[in-house]
Chain A
Amino acid sequence: MRRTRRATAHGSWLGMWLGGWLTLAPVLIAGCGDVDAGSTPFAGTVLYTDPAGAYQFNLVEPPWIPDALDDVTVFAVPPSDLSAVTDLSAALYTLHIDTVIGTPESERNSEELAVFGTATGASSLQIAEGTVRTVAGDDAYELAWIPSSGLFERDVFLAGPTSATFRLQFGAKAPIADDPMITQMILSFEPL
């Protein structure tokens, strides 16, 4: 039976279309997704639990990489070019988590005074204060400032289970005062 050029082209299009659906079949069968971002908090993140069992929070891992240095757990986002990395100063983002003695609010205020005291150009130093409530229901007291050109700091204080206060110290080479990804890490923080 003789096939016209048009019929052949039509057949090839149909073949492509059917092939596409066959390729998509596994996606259609198993591809409706695991986590509903419309109802599940912190979808797409990894829950990190402190090895000592003191706290947990969600982060995007990678690019965040956790590492324990002595008593302090350090999280860092390394630069894309790892060949130039010699220490933590090369990291694009860092997070130190430790504990201090005092209430979250008083610790935030004392740190604010310390920042003013050590700043060389204190008159031009801009400090932003804020308070957020985590999803677990804890109040977090924030402090954000720019210690030097190209560096950005954001510290958060949350009440621990005892008289201790958790201090989350974020550092970055990009503005983070209103970064929603940093905010998510704070919102998900929960003392255990």
Chain B
Amino acid sequence: MGHVRRNLAVSVGRALAGLAALGLLAAPWAHAQAAEESIDDPKVARRLGTRIDWVSPPGVATAHPGGPPAVGPGAPAVPVAPTTGATPEPVPPAAGATPLAATPTVPPVPVGSTPSEPVFQPVLPRVQLAFRRFDFVRIGASDSNGLAASEAFDALSLDVYPMSSLVRLGLSTAYGWQAGMTSGGDYFATETASFGPQLDFGRVVPFAEALAGIGYMRRFQFAHTVPTVFWQLGIDLGASVYFARIGFVSVALGYLRPVNGFLRTTSFETVYTNTWSFKIGIGI
């Protein structure tokens, strides 16, 4: 039994030496390094195609633990595998030392630095529920100087952006009512198209858009409902602030020209004013 045991030991030793020579006992980075080597036989290379590096995650530089690997013609091709699974501490570079070697296709990561966080990429606005306030005029009512009395409107809108990238195209369906009036006041319903650029700065997406809309406005004058046409032109400047990748709140300051058109006894008359507006919204 003694020679059998000696032969077994010799066989195991040779097998391990062979495996080591093939690199199967090498550390994972040895696989990454081997992956970079080309296949000598063109037929085999064509059949196998590009070899996959199973070890190195994409985009992450592979640093050799346990100190810099030996370089030079006499250096062994397979470094010594770490004996434990623990991640070794990075070694601070000595003065004048050469940087750590890395796989040729991946830039080296400076020792001691942490990998950069992934860039926040929001899903640009597609749908938004918004609230707007602006001042218009009350037709038929005046202040002491004869100018039409101011009349504030609040409006809720559902904004849809069928195109939203560097520019955005929007369709806004809005319902507005005379501010402070629960009943018996003026109100309107409009459909508005908008167009303008937006810049993706990550969590903040500033935008500017021109808008034009048209709809119906009910004027309540002397206990009578007076149907009128209402349209508006304007610009909005604002920003969408993302609290999640597909969720944002937006704030915009606008400059509007609301126009009210209505039939008089013998004519169709239009009245306009120029006013500021404030809009806030939440969307995805």
Instruction: Judge whether A34 and B269 touch: CB under 8 Å.
Output: yes
Instruction: Judge whether B142 and A184 touch: CB under 8 Å.
Output: yes
- Distance (whole angstroms) from the CB of B273 to the closest CB of chain A: 5
- Distance (whole angstroms) from the CB of A98 to the closest CB of chain B: 22
User: Size class of B's contact patch?
Assistant: 35 or more
Instruction: Judge whether A184 and B141 touch: CB under 8 Å.
Output: yes
- Distance (whole angstroms) from the CB of A19 to the closest CB of chain B: 9
Interface check B264, CB cutoff 8 A:
yes
Given A41-B146, A132-B144, A184-B140, A32–B224 Cβ distance below 8 Å? Answer: no
Closest A residue, CB atoms, query B268? A34
Instruction: Judge whether A77 and B272 touch: CB under 8 Å.
Output: no
- Distance (whole angstroms) from the CB of A50 to the closest CB of chain B: 16
Given A34-B269, A44-B148, A181–B221 Cβ distance below 8 Å? Answer: yes
Given A28-B233, A181-B222, A20–B191 Cβ distance below 8 Å? Answer: yes
Given A14-B162, A92-B222, A181-B141, A32–B257 Cβ distance below 8 Å? Answer: yes
Give chain B residues whose Cβ lies under 8 Å from the Cβ of A46.
264-265
Please provide the chain B residues from 220 to 240 with a CB less than 8 Å away from any CB of chain A in the complex.
Answer: 221-226, 231, 233
When A and B form their complex, what is the total count of cross-chain residue pairs whose Cβ atoms lie within 8 Å? 139
Please provide the chain A residues from 31 to 66 with a CB less than 8 Å away from any CB of chain B in the complex.
Answer: 31-46, 60-64
**A28–B270 CA distance with the chains assembled, in angstroms:** 14
Most A Cβ at <10 Å: residue of B142, B147, B262: B142
Give chain A residues whose Cβ lies under 8 Å from the Cβ of B138.
180
**10 nearest interchain CB pairs?**
A33-B272, A13-B162, A41-B146, A180-B141, A184-B142, A44-B139, A60-B140, A135-B146, A63-B224, A37-B137
| A-B contact list, 29 entries, CB within 8 Å | A10-B162, A10-B163, A27-B214, A33-B270, A33-B271, A34-B269, A36-B272, A36-B273, A37-B148, A37-B273, A41-B147, A43-B148, A44-B139, A44-B140, A44-B260, A45-B140, A46-B264, A46-B265, A62-B226, A63-B222, A77-B222, A77-B224, A93-B222, A132-B144, A181-B221, A183-B142, A184-B141, A184-B146, A188-B146
Chain A positions near chain B (C-beta within 8 angstroms)? 10, 13-14, 16-17, 20-21, 23-24, 27-28, 31-46, 60-64, 77, 80, 92-93, 132-133, 135, 174, 180-181, 183-184, 187-188
